[in-house]
Amino acid sequence: MIQITRRLFLVTLAVSFAMMCGGSFQPAAAGEPLHFGYLVADQLHEPGPMIMKEKGYLKEEGFDVKWSEFLAGAYAMQHFSAGEVDAVTCGAVPVMIARGAGTDVVMLASSNTEGSAIVVLPEINSIKDLDGQKLGTPGLGSIQDAMVTMVEKKYGVRIRHVPIKVSDMPIYLSKKEIKGFIAWEPHCGRAVDMGYGKIMMTSQDILPGHQCCVLAVQGKMIRKNPDKVRRIMRAYLKAMRFMRDHRDESVKMMIKYTGLSESIVKEALPRVKHSYPPYVDVPSLKVMGETLLASGKIQKKKVPDLNKLIAEVYNDSFLKKAVGAK
C-alpha cells in the first residue's frame, strides 16, 4: 500500500486546484544570482550594501544575493579580478589600480567622499614627527595608503607604511608598535574614544572632497546584461536615498553592523560625506591617479594616458538614467 505523506497530499491538492481553475502549477522562480562584496566594518563609508540587505532592495529587483566581506579594497579586487564577485563597494583607488592592471572593472556611482583620518600617539605633534616612523595603513592599493604618499610629498617626509588590519590598528597604537595609523571611520573615532590617540589630520585636510568608496561592477555585465546593471543601480539608489532621508535609522543599522557604540558612530559619521545623486568626483580621481603613477602603483607603461583610464573606469550613464527616471 502506498503511504501518502501530509506534504505530498497538500502538494497534490494544490496542483489539482490549479488545474480545476484553468491554470498551471509552477514552482516559485529562483532569483538571479548576484555576488556582492563590501568591506568589513565599513558601513559608515558604504551604507548601500547594509541598507540593501536590511530592506531587501536587491531581492525586490529579482536577485538572490550572496554577500561577502573583505578586509580592504585590495582583497576585494583580487576576488573581483578572479571573476568571483559581480558587484562591489570599495575604495576608488584599488578599483583604479585594478583597472590599470587590466581588470575589467567599472565604477557606476559614489558611495562616499572623504571619511578617513590620520590618528597618532598623544606625543606626536606634527607630521614632521612621523618622518622615518611606522604608520599603519590598510595596505598597498588602498586610498588611505595613497593619501599617506600625498602627505609625504607635501611635507617632505618619509613614512614607513605598515599594512595592518584596520580593526587591529587601535591595538597596535595602544602598544606603541606604531606611531599612528590612517584608516576609514569609524576605526579612527574608536581609537580616540579608547584614549589611544588623537586625530592629527582628516582626509578633508589632505584632499578636500576626494572620492573615497564607489560602487563598481564587472565590465562584461555592462556589455552583456545591461538590464542587470540597471536593476542593481535602482536598488543602490533606493539605499542611498534611505541613508539621506532616514539618518537615525541608518545610524542604528551602523551600530548593529559595526558593533560600536552610538557615541562613536555619531562622532565619526560627520567626517564622512554621502552625496546624492551619488556621482563620482572625477577631479580627485585624476589627482589620485597621478599619485599612483608617480609611486608606481599604476605602471606608466600599462597606463600611458590617465584621462583614458578614468574615462574607461567610470561610467555614469546608468546613474544619469536612473536619476532622471526617478
133 and 67 together in one domain: no
Residue 72 has what pLDDT? 85
Is residue 210 within 8 A of residue 288, CB to CB? The reply is yes
Cell reading at 100: 590599470
Among 174, 191, 206, identify where a domain stops.
206
Residue 71 has what pLDDT? 86
Residue 325 has what pLDDT? 55
CATH number at residue 164: 3.40.190.10
62 and 75 together in one domain: yes
Q: Enumerate the H helices of the chain as residue ranges.
A: 6-20, 47-55, 57-60, 73-81, 92-100, 143-155, 169-174, 187-193, 203-206, 219-224, 226-245, 247-258, 262-268, 282-295, 306-313, 317-324
pTM beyond 0.85: the answer is no
Question: How would you write the pLDDT of the chain (326 residues) with one tens digit per residue?
Answer: 444 444 444 434 443 444 444 444 344 456 999 999 999 888 999 999 999 999 999 999 999 999 999 988 889 999 999 999 999 999 999 999 999 999 999 999 999 999 999 999 999 999 999 999 999 998 877 788 889 998 999 999 999 999 998 889 999 999 999 999 999 898 899 899 999 999 999 999 998 999 999 999 999 999 999 999 999 999 999 999 999 999 999 999 999 999 989 999 999 999 999 999 999 999 999 988 998 998 899 999 999 999 999 999 999 999 999 998 54
Among 206, 231, 260, identify where a domain stops.
206
Does residue 263 lie within any of the structural domains?
A: yes
The number of folded domains in the chain is: 2
Among 206, 234, 260, identify where a domain stops.
206
190-200, pLDDT tens digit by residue? 899 999 999 99
Range(s) of the domain holding residue 154: 116-206
Does residue 161 lie within any of the structural domains?
A: yes
255 and 279 together in one domain: yes
217 and 93 together in one domain: yes
Does residue 12 lie within any of the structural domains?
A: no
120 and 182 together in one domain: yes
Residue 326 has what pLDDT? 46
Instruction: Tell me the C-alpha distance between 75 and 281, whole Å.
Output: 23
73 and 134 together in one domain: no
Classified as helix, coil or strand, 157 is: coil
103 and 173 together in one domain: no
93 and 215 together in one domain: yes
Instruction: Give the alpha-carbon dihedral of 109, 114, 115, 120, to 10 degrees.
Output: 150
93 and 217 together in one domain: yes
102 and 219 together in one domain: yes
Q: Enumerate the H helices of 21-166 as residue ranges.
A: 47-55, 57-60, 73-81, 92-100, 143-155
240 and 165 together in one domain: no
Which residue type does 311 have? A
Is residue 244 within 8 A of residue 259, CB to CB? The reply is no
Task: From 317, 308, 316, select the one nearest 289 (Cα to Cα).
Answer: 308
Residue 143 has what pLDDT? 81
Residue 315 has what pLDDT? 98
Does residue 147 lie within any of the structural domains?
A: yes
Does residue 26 lie within any of the structural domains?
A: no
109 and 232 together in one domain: yes
Does residue 231 lie within any of the structural domains?
A: yes
Does residue 18 lie within any of the structural domains?
A: no
Instruction: Tell me the C-alpha distance between 190 and 170, whole Å.
Output: 7
Does residue 1 lie within any of the structural domains?
A: no
Residue 9 has what pLDDT? 42
